[in-house]
Amino acid sequence: MAPNMSFYDRFRIRHGSAVDLSAIPTDDDGNLDQKATQEATTKLIERIVELQELMYAEGKHSLLIVLQAMDAAGKDSVIRNVFGPVNAQGLNIASFKAPSAIELAHDYLWRIHSVAPRKGTITIFNRSHYEDVLVVRVKSLVPEHRWSKRYEHINQFEQLLEDEGTHIVKFYLHISPEYQKRQFMQRLEDPKKQWKFNPKDLDDRALWPEFQRAYEAALSKCSTDYSPWYVVPAEKKWFRNHLIASVIVDLLESLDMRYPKPDFDPSSIHID
């Protein structure tokens, strides 16, 4: 590996490169040892907690994390496992469902921009504006002449956020249809998980190849230096968590944040 290269760099999509998801294994574990990796991930998560405190105290930057995937790939599990320990005061989760009537009466970025993170905080998008070039494209919810312009809108929008201090990183949780089937079966068999299953999920499953083509286009056109996409092999959960935690720690470390210096001399303060 070249200096400054990390094990996760090969999962980062280069802008404009041809993406063939079928050539990327969904169960890759990077040849890492599971036990040692899990211990390392625990430490990385502790570091995320510290860095988020620092981000909150400094109040200059914010972080937007986008999670996209086919159903049952583990978006909720990433939020719980990697970000569960973060101070809830500085963490927001925004989940995007099919747009409401009022949302549809606006442009598609309206509901997105309004919940972008404020300075000092992290927001995780569980689904995102990318649905507007994924499900919308696959199901022809708007005509092609409209969705085809959205990749450029999205790049411009993400550039605006970055220019104004919101750093962005995007993860596509990559699974196979066989894995999804196993997850669906588990949901159906467990009374505590049945609520997670929506029979309509099978409509999206039937369109698997079309969704993969739409993902490939979005990953290729919208992975930029300022807002990269990572394709995360998601079937080995411990590897998935490790990859995501590693990217987040390195990104936060690169911001070179500092605790604010008090504008008084703490040693001069006497409290009776």
Residues in contact with Mg ion by CB under 5 A are 71, 201
Fill in the per-residue mask, 63 to 82: x = in contact with ligand AMP (CB under 6 A), - = not in contact. --------x-----------
**What are the φ and ψ backbone dihedral angles of 229, each rounded to 5 degrees?**
-100, 140
Among 99, 220, 238, 257, binds ligand AMP (CB under 6 A): 99
Look at residue 65 and give its three-state secondary structure. strand
Q: Based on CB atoms, which residue is closest to Mg ion, 211 or 239?
A: 211
Nearer to ligand AMP, 88 or 104 (CB): 104
Residue 144 carries which DSSP code? Answer: H
Angle at 22 between CA 20 and CA 24, to 5 degrees: 80
Binding status of residue 140 toward ligand AMP by CB under 6 A: no
Q: Is 17 exposed, middle or buried (0-12, 13-18, 19+ CB in 10 A)?
A: exposed
Q: Site for ligand AMP (CB under 6 A): which residue of 4, 5, 97, 199? A: 97
Options 126-134, 210-218, 226-234, 262-270: segment touching ligand AMP (CB under 6 A): 126-134
CA distance 1 to 142: 44
Among 98, 160, 188, 206, binds ligand AMP (CB under 6 A): 98
Of residues 112, 121, 81, the one with CA closest to residue 94: 112
- Exactly one of 24, 54, 93, 135 binds ligand AMP (CB under 6 A); that residue is 135
Q: Compare residues 71 and 216 and give the one whose CB is closer to ligand AMP.
A: 71
Q: Residue 270, interface with ligand AMP (CB under 6 A)?
A: no
Instruction: Determine the Cα–Cα distance for residues 167 and 226; give it in Å rounded to an integer.
Output: 7
Q: Which two tokens stand for residue 238?
A: 């411990």
By CB under 6 A, tell whether 138 contacts ligand AMP. Answer: no
Span from 132-140, 175-183, 240-248, 260-268 in contact with ligand AMP (CB under 6 A): 132-140
What are the Cα distances from residue 133, in Å, to 95, 182, 242? 17, 27, 28
Q: Which residue has the tokens 């959960």?
A: 237
What type of residue sits at position 126? N
Residue number of the CB closest to Mg ion reads 71
Q: How far is the CB of 201 from Mg ion (least distance, A)?
A: 5
Structure tokens at 152: 């450029």
CB of 73 to Mg ion, least distance (A): 10
Spell out the alpha helix ranges (H) of 130-190.
135-138, 144-147, 150-163, 177-189
Pick from ligand AMP, Mg ion, none: which does 255 bind, CB < 5 to 8 A by kind? none
Binding partner of residue 96 among ligand AMP, Mg ion, none, CB under 5 to 8 Å per kind?
ligand AMP
Summarize as ranges the residues that interact with ligand AMP (CB under 6 A): 71, 96-99, 127, 131-132, 135-136, 141
